[in-house]
Structure 1
């Protein structure tokens, strides 16, 4: 008797794991978002209104900042902070050679000149000794960056600023929840910033940012600069001057729709940070002994007196680009932080740097790979990512 052979079972590939996804948490927050949006619609003011003021107050309470000014992006927050902290045209600002482009471009856009220095040996923050070595008579400020899961070496950098009479400002765009000696990132000098880009620890549905400071004059100057030079909260209390243009400004205000989303998400921020920590620890445990992985974030403790808050799970790996391609073929998203160090960016070519000037920054750019890390990620997603990394290095030609 003739029989029909069984049909071959079709292979169903596993669902992709994007580098970032907030669809589940967005649904979780939808009721809160809708309530705040209803308030915005009822009020009829969509920019720089009551929801923005409410977000500023809530963030001030959560961070311990004396003043918070919400703006349209982390980049504009940096530009406004630098100007409000006293940067004059031609002033030099020391920044790390390893960071997002906005760290250095904000200095240029504020009228200053970025001066690069190398990063720490075991970390990604500005090396205090390297910073001290590039101080000149034209140096006005030093701006460390807090990257990925920890703050820069602020104790040493504060001492550099004190010794040379420099203003200390912080690119703390990634540093929501990071603290040193009990003080939130961004509050260790003249001020700092936050970014609310969607993938950040506290992310919105578009760009957004804020300036943090304990200095009232810095806060009021930022308020004026971000609103076409018009008066901030203090000046608004004086009839006849609140609509006056006090200084030339720009339009960097935050929209109330963005503030509505952030207010809703702020209610779960502590839980989100805790979930990110669980995922980061799972990654660390799985990948710590994998050949080809040079180091997991948890291998070196954060600077003395500070905590670890995982915004990005950043590995340093061998054959970085090949590993990223392998993971992409398996539907796993990754990001390269950062493909090119700041001193080798074409827009800074006029500063005269060459490859080899900042070897630690260049090495980080060549080996860094970020893995998916966000509260919506499941434990089995982490395990699948780790399985594929292990498989890649097991099959790699020796």
Structure 2
């Protein structure tokens, strides 16, 4: 319970789970100069966050000094890279990953081994769900989950157009047809009303994407699915740790790609679900259709070779302890962006996302006023100020020049998706970003918008 919003010695109570709601609360308290109680759920993913908060609660000092200690030292360079590869992992994380790889190297248990089950158990625990099936990538997780809930060749799966190609590719991998529905603004997530309009007798499943880490309207989508007897698979590849993932769906797919909000040292993913039956089906489909626990004995006609390697699982176990701490850094940076850019948002120059608790802050999107030309000009001005930005994703699904474009997407009517796509750009936000670098991004954005208005 919050007692005060001013006294740096104040402590908040109640159990912190380590999910996005918890991190949102901690970030708010830190920003208000409050201490945080060490009432954190004991999980592998919370280990470093618990250690960090414990050191803060037991040591004197001002909150500003503690916040500064959470982030890297300011870079002397004048440029701000969007996502520097050398900072994907901290020195301590790199050391832990290296030690884990050495142990696997000594055991020679590269593909199968005990780390796989342990990693799955830890992922399920962090997700707050009963089952996790670890895979070779997030794309594998999507395709396996779709097949596990009953998607077959010729079926239709409704999804958004503003996602990474893996989303549509997973549908195609099942022999199914992606059907594009529009999104809500400004979050860019699948709109339940638009979904309802796209349902046909061939529709089997919905595939919402938690874009940039923001949870879609899962309650609304579940209501639509229940009225028509449809399944739901969440593309939660950008939303590991977000409160509510898996609560309204049959299964959710996660990605541990190094560039995601929880990244490992290569490609990896997982299906998380509350259904033991779906999990069992995923294990069969993900490993050559073998009977679980009986290699070379098939129980289905077809299965993929998509199970995570013991090597990557071991590295995952070594890196998971930083999950909560990395999430707190992202969440605090997101709050800081929202507050710093509030005047520009109030002037209508840009639109920033709301600082919401159901968000992993995998990316920080900004909407530029005036459409694509104005957005592109703003990108150029920021580049000249040595601030690297990006646009995710540069080509919408129905605008990709592929052989199936006209056949499947020729009649796509997605006005809100296209409106957002013409305005969105992304500012640097990652666990290795320093507060000084973020300040330079904000200063550059103010200068760029002022020049545009002059």
- TM-score, structure 1 length as denominator? 0.87
Is 2:271 aligned against 1:216?
no
Of the three residues 301, 310, 313, the one matched with 2:364 is: 313
Say if 1:128 and 1:160, in contact at 8 Å, map to a contact too. yes
| Equivalence for 1:256 | 310
| CA RMSD across the alignment | 2.0
Give the 3-state SS of the residue equivalent to 2:440 in structure 1. Answer: helix
- Give CA-to-partner distance per residue, 1:5-58, whole Å, 9 cap, x none: xxxxxxxx9343221136454312133223322331232111242222221111
Give 1:270 deviation, angstroms.
Answer: 0.9
Say if 1:227 and 1:251, in contact at 8 Å, map to a contact too. yes
Which whole-Å CA distance do the structure 2 matches of 1:353 and 1:249 have between them?
A: 29
| Equivalence for 2:299 | 246
Is 2:346 aligned against 1:288?
no
Assess, with a 3 A threshold, how the Cα gap between structure 1 residues 330 and 259 changes in structure 2: closer, same or farther.
farther
- Give CA-to-partner distance per residue, 1:152-202, whole Å, 9 cap, x none: 00111000000011011111111111113xxxx134221011111112111
Of the three residues 231, 244, 254, the one matched with 2:291 is: 231
| Equivalence for 1:338 | 393
| Equivalence for 2:104 | 40
Assess, with a 3 A threshold, how the Cα gap between structure 1 residues 396 and 251 changes in structure 2: closer, same or farther.
same
Say if 2:178 and 2:408, in contact at 8 Å, map to a contact too. no
Is 2:253 aligned against 1:189?
no
Paired positions, count: 370
Of the three residues 411, 416, 426, the one matched with 1:360 is: 416
Q: Say which is worse superposed, 155-164 or 105-114, in terms of deviation.
A: 105-114
Matches within 5 A, 1:1-398: 14-21=77-84, 23-24=86-87, 25-180=89-244, 185-232=245-292, 236=293, 241-247=294-300, 248-290=302-344, 293-298=349-354, 302=356, 307-318=358-369, 319-347=374-402, 348-351=404-407, 353=409, 357-396=413-452
Say if 1:141 and 1:166, in contact at 8 Å, map to a contact too. yes
Q: Say which is worse superposed, 313-322 or 149-158, in terms of deviation.
A: 313-322
Say if 2:151 and 2:176, in contact at 8 Å, map to a contact too. yes
Which whole-Å CA distance do the structure 2 matches of 1:354 and 1:138 have between them?
A: 18
Assess, with a 3 A threshold, how the Cα gap between structure 1 residues 30 and 338 changes in structure 2: closer, same or farther.
closer
- Give CA-to-partner distance per residue, 1:217-263, whole Å, 9 cap, x none: 2212222222222233xxx1xxxx44312221222122233223322
Which whole-Å CA distance do the structure 2 matches of 1:208 and 1:370 have between them?
A: 25
| Equivalence for 2:29 | none
Give 1:292 deviation, angstroms.
Answer: 6.3
Assess, with a 3 A threshold, how the Cα gap between structure 1 residues 155 and 95 changes in structure 2: closer, same or farther.
same
Assess, with a 3 A threshold, how the Cα gap between structure 1 residues 15 and 51 changes in structure 2: closer, same or farther.
farther
Q: Say which is worse superposed, 28-37 or 260-269, in terms of deviation.
A: 28-37
Give 1:387 deviation, angstroms.
Answer: 0.8
- List alignment gaps of at least 5 residues for structure 1: 1-12
Say if 2:258 and 2:267, in contact at 8 Å, map to a contact too. yes
Assess, with a 3 A threshold, how the Cα gap between structure 1 residues 109 and 307 changes in structure 2: closer, same or farther.
same
- Give CA-to-partner distance per residue, 1:359-379, whole Å, 9 cap, x none: 110111111111111111111
Which whole-Å CA distance do the structure 2 matches of 1:281 and 1:397 have between them?
A: 26
Give the 3-state SS of the residue equivalent to 2:365 in structure 1. Answer: strand
Which whole-Å CA distance do the structure 1 matches of 2:259 and 2:125 have between them?
A: 23
- Give CA-to-partner distance per residue, 1:337-384, whole Å, 9 cap, x none: 122222222234133545881011011111111111111111111110
Give the 3-state SS of the residue equivalent to 1:337 in structure 2. Answer: coil
Say if 1:40 and 1:51, in contact at 8 Å, map to a contact too. no
Assess, with a 3 A threshold, how the Cα gap between structure 1 residues 332 and 355 changes in structure 2: closer, same or farther.
farther
Which whole-Å CA distance do the structure 2 matches of 1:110 and 1:329 have between them?
A: 45
